[in-house]
């Protein structure tokens, strides 16, 4: 693998737009788009659509409806929740090779967060909500594709970008869209931030989010205590049982994140909700933990209580299989041509790459900007990494077009292993 003159022109195209690539990400990050801030999400969606239309005028753009899901409130009532549209940007859907590029425009910072704008640290890093995770990554996608569209071999490669509004809450609304894209694509590129040194995530654990409703019987805590059945006490017992699953199966963790419920101090609580997350290394471990959870949910801890389980796995495990190993090697070689030393390591974190792999799509899911401290008010990104990472993606696309990265072969390798 080597950089050809035409590849070099694509890389130069990216470099010439450095200021714009960084600046638009800053503008987007200055718009709050917490996962449940509909107004903010729609404002960012409008901005992304306008910019995609400007830099990729030949592409087809569409807003795609996401799928509503059931959420459990702290009042123990299950309700249907709808999500903002996803944005699809695509070109050449009939080309023999199809590349899927995904990202998300929601952040973990709610509308009332104190962390709202991007600033510049003394060391030159950008500090702001979503600048790394992953509005910077979205800017990288657009820059790479705009440059690739100048390449003469582009005709053999079609691509689809999906930008979703709900990744930070597990992709409940966009999961079906990811599954459909993963099934028909040959190669996936996802733009979660890389680590500050450029390292990428390799194998990823799977993740499930669960909500266990505990229903009891209300009573006056003084006059009729024994006529009640305390749902909060039951929730505490369930939480202990769930926590005790830790250490029982290699690689499996159970995090009891929140217990809510009850009313006044002199009222026996008639409802509570236990919320917990599980992480698993593989499908066998996922089956094991689901069996354990179902057993706990089938046995109320004491008389007068009932349990109702909601939720499940939103991100299947993503192992470092033969296809992933081969893809990482190809990306490492592309990075080496650019003077970028690329390493990877297993991660307990999850992202859309888990969903794409489960659908049969080999993918690299940390192609975004270099940064760190995500999900905190210290989140940062290095400005020079915007061009660096856009050039890496652009070169990957060039090498897919030339056949030096065999996208159909990688897809076949993944499917053969199942």
Tell me: do 142 and 218 sit in the same domain: no
Q: What is the largest CA-CA distance in the chain?
A: 86
Confidence band, pLDDT 50/70/90 cuts, at residue 333: very high
Counting the structural domains of the chain, the total is 2
Q: 258: domain CATH number?
A: 3.30.70.360
- What does the pLDDT read at residue 197? 82
Tell me: do 70 and 197 sit in the same domain: yes
Show which of 315, 339, 373 is a domain's final residue.
315
- What does the pLDDT read at residue 134? 97
Tell me: do 310 and 215 sit in the same domain: yes
pLDDT digits (tens, 9 = 90+) for 83-96: 999 999 999 999 99
Tell me: do 134 and 39 sit in the same domain: yes
Tell me: do 363 and 298 sit in the same domain: no
Show which of 315, 342, 361 is a domain's final residue.
315
pLDDT exceeds 80 at position 196: no
**Cα separation of 350 and 354, whole Å?**
7
Confidence band, pLDDT 50/70/90 cuts, at residue 135: very high
pTM for this predicted structure: 0.94
Please give the full DSSP string across 177-222, using - where no structure is assigned: HHHHHHHH-SEEEEBPPBPTT--EEEEE-EEEEEEEEEE-B-EETT
Tell me: do 258 and 339 sit in the same domain: no
Tell me: do 157 and 41 sit in the same domain: yes
Show which of 315, 343, 371 is a domain's final residue.
315
Tell me: do 164 and 309 sit in the same domain: no
Strands 60-64 and 86-91: antiparallel
Q: Do residues 172 and 113 make contact, with C-beta atoms less than 8 angstroms apart?
A: no
Tell me: do 114 and 199 sit in the same domain: yes
Compute the average pLDDT of residues 277-306: 96
Mean pLDDT of the chain: 96
Confidence band, pLDDT 50/70/90 cuts, at residue 406: very high
Element (H, E) at 261: strand 253-261
The boundaries of the domain holding residue 156 are: 5-203+318-416
Tell me: do 182 and 249 sit in the same domain: no
Confidence band, pLDDT 50/70/90 cuts, at residue 311: very high
Tell me: do 336 and 396 sit in the same domain: yes
Tell me: do 303 and 393 sit in the same domain: no
Residue with tokens 């995770």: 133
pLDDT exceeds 80 at position 215: yes
Q: Write out the two tokens for 385.
A: 């990494």
């Amino acid at each position: 693998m080597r950089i050809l003159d035409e590849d070099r022109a694509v890389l130069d195209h990216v470099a010439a737009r450095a200021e714009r690539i960084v600046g638009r990400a800053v503008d987007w990050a200055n718009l709050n788009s917490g996962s449940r801030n509909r107004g903010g999400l729609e404002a960012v969606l409008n901005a992304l659509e306008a910019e995609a239309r400007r830099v990729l005028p030949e592409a087809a753009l569409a807003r795609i409806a996401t799928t509503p899901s059931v959420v459990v409130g702290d009042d123990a009532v299950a309700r249907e929740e709808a999500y903002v549209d996803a944005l699809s940007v695509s070109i050449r859907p009939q080309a023999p090779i199809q590349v899927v590029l995904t990202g998300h425009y929601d952040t973990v910072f709610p509308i009332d967060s104190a962390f709202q704008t991007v600033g510049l640290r003394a060391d030159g890093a950008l500090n702001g909500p979503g600048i790394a995770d992953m509005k910077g990554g979205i800017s990288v996608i657009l820059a790479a594709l705009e440059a690739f569209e100048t390449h003469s071999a582009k005709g053999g490669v079609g691509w689809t970008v999906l930008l979703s509004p709900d990744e930070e809450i597990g992709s409940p609304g966009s999961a079906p869209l990811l599954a459909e894209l993963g099934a028909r694509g040959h190669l996936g590129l996802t733009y979660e931030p890389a680590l500050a040194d450029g390292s990428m995530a390799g194998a990823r654990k799977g993740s499930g989010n669960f909500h266990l409703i505990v229903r009891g019987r209300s009573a006056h805590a003084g006059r009729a205590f024994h006529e009640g059945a305390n749902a909060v006490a039951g929730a505490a017992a369930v939480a202990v049982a769930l926590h005790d699953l830790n250490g029982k199966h290699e690689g499996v963790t159970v995090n009891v994140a929140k217990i809510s419920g009850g009313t006044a101090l002199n009222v026996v609580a008639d409802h509570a909700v236990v919320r917990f997350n599980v992480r698993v290394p593989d499908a066998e471990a996922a089956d094991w933990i689901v069996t354990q959870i179902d057993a706990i949910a089938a046995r109320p801890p004491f008389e007068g209580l009932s349990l109702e389980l909601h939720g499940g796995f939103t991100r299947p495990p993503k192992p470092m299989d033969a296809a992933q190993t081969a893809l990482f090697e190809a990306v490492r070689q592309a990075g080496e041509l650019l003077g970028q030393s690329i390493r990877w390591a297993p991660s307990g974190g999850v992202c859309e790459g888990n969903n794409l792999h489960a659908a049969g799509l080999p993918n690299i899911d940390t192609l975004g900007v270099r940064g760190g401290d995500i999900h905190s008010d210290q989140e940062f990104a290095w400005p020079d990494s915007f061009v660096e990472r856009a050039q890496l993606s652009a070169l990957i696309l060039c090498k897919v077009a030339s056949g030096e990265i065999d996208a159909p072969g990688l897809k076949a390798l993944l499917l053969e292993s199942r």
